[in-house]
Homo-oligomer: A and B are copies of this chain.
Amino acid sequence: MILKSTFILGGASSGKSAFAEAMVKATNAPRVYIATSQAYDKEMQAKIASHRKSRGKGWRTIECPLGVSEALSDVAEGEVVLLDCATMWLNNQMFANNDIAQETENLLAAMAACKGRVVTVSNEVGMGIVPENALARQFRDAQGKLNQKLADAADLSVFVVAGLPLVLKGTLP
């Protein structure tokens, strides 16, 4: 079975990226890594280095904090994309003051039109106490809505908890 689109959701340090990487590697297809994080401080640099080490070699890497939709249109048939992650993409869009509804529509259209398969990683951020910071509340609201749309559009949606999968929709390969 070939899945067109997979959605992997999880909390911080839940093992969601490693789970998604293993899934992409298991396809034995040429793989593309769409990296959305920017190394703007040491904490983020360390995180990016750790993710790079974990996923190993053999990836065509595209760094794009914002232009994910454009990057997806360059993916070739037979390639499998790991988009890691929708949370950082959303964060970058909000920081750039872009129209989130429009960008989300573009992203979903680009995923549907992508010639390769796409595995998208995203964060669950809505299961804590209401943040005191208004921007944080706005972000978790936008992230929750984006996650609903990504999960709805995917053939397979998985919630990763402590490195292990809870299938929300579809069947694990």
Interface of A is mostly: mixed
**A126 x B163 contact (CB < 8 A):** no
Across the interface, A14 reaches (CB within 8 A) one of B15, B148, B150, B157, namely: B148
- A151 at the A/B interface (Cβ < 8 Å)? yes
**A143, A148, A152, A164: most-surrounded residue (chain B CB, <10 A):** A164
Shortest distance from the beta carbon of A80 to any chain B beta carbon, whole Å: 22
Residues on the B chain within 8 Å of A127, using CB: 11-12, 124-128
Q: Which residues of A contact B (CB under 8 A)?
A: 7, 9-15, 43, 124-134, 136-137, 139-145, 147-148, 150-152, 157, 159, 161-166, 168-169
Across the interface, A11 reaches (CB within 8 A) one of B7, B134, B136, B144, namely: B144
Closest to A134 in B: B43
Across the interface, A164 reaches (CB within 8 A) one of B11, B161, B162, B169, namely: B169
**A166 x B162 contact (CB < 8 A):** no
Shortest distance from the beta carbon of A126 to any chain B beta carbon, whole Å: 3
Closest to A144 in B: B13
Shortest distance from the beta carbon of A123 to any chain B beta carbon, whole Å: 8
